[in-house]
Structure 1
């Protein structure tokens, strides 16, 4: 068995999408600029769902976040309009994509639990429906 030379290994690693591996939503950070002028009180929590057209069936995700009783915000990124449930105002366009990138979202859909404009928790790519809230 022949070992791969270092150059081959480096090229193989370079072919991987390492930028996605480096993307990490950082808890405690303030949200980047957004269009939500009707802010919730600082002690209240809200949920932000960041998604794209290729996330698949988001029905269970929407059911879970809408059932939380929290204010729900939707950010549809990557320039392909995708609907959200009735009553959820969706932010789309280049600014929405820039918002997700400024947050360093690594996988869609991302569910962000926010309080006072700061990230409390984040789920990227998978979401079980548990926001980890204590009643």
Structure 2
């Protein structure tokens, strides 16, 4: 098994690809209006106060080497790690609903404003074999 630190983007892509959750976010869709300047490739994490411990998820996302945007939806302020300033408030919740987020947390891999991959659900921290 590879160490996540040696292949962070691969680890993130594998984590996003092995979800058992039924994502309703549509691949290929463009992101709804948001307050940040989009990078070429980026990660967007949409979460709420009741997601539980997201330490493993945040670690994987922050280790990806990609710009990360935190969206704290549903009106209860919850911090994000690593110096990230989460987007909060009614507009952040509207963003999540426009995406049709079915389960929090939701992680989006985005390229030029379009959703390449989406993962919804509880993160166990186990990425499985990565050979």
Give the gaps of 5 or more residues in structure 2. 1-21
Q: How does 1:37-48 map to 2 (within 5 A)?
A: 38-40=37-39, 44-48=40-44
State the Cα distance separating 1:55 from its structure 2 match. Answer: 0.2
CA distance in 2 between partners of 1:86 and 1:79 (Å): 21
CA RMSD of aligned residues (A): 2.1
Give the gaps of 5 or more residues in structure 1. 1-21
Bigger radius of gyration among the two: 1
CA distance in 2 between partners of 1:129 and 1:27 (Å): 24
Question: TM (normalized to structure 2)?
Answer: 0.75
Bigger relative contact order, structure 1 or 2 (CA pairs below 8 A, ≥6 apart): 2
- In structure 2, the residue matched to 1:104 is 100
Do 2:47 and 2:73's aligned partners in 1 also have CA atoms closer than 8 Å?
A: yes
Q: 1:75 aligns with which of 43, 68, 71?
A: 71
Do 2:51 and 2:105's aligned partners in 1 also have CA atoms closer than 8 Å?
A: yes
Please identify runs of 4+ aligned residues in structure 1 that moved more than 6 A.
Answer: 128-131
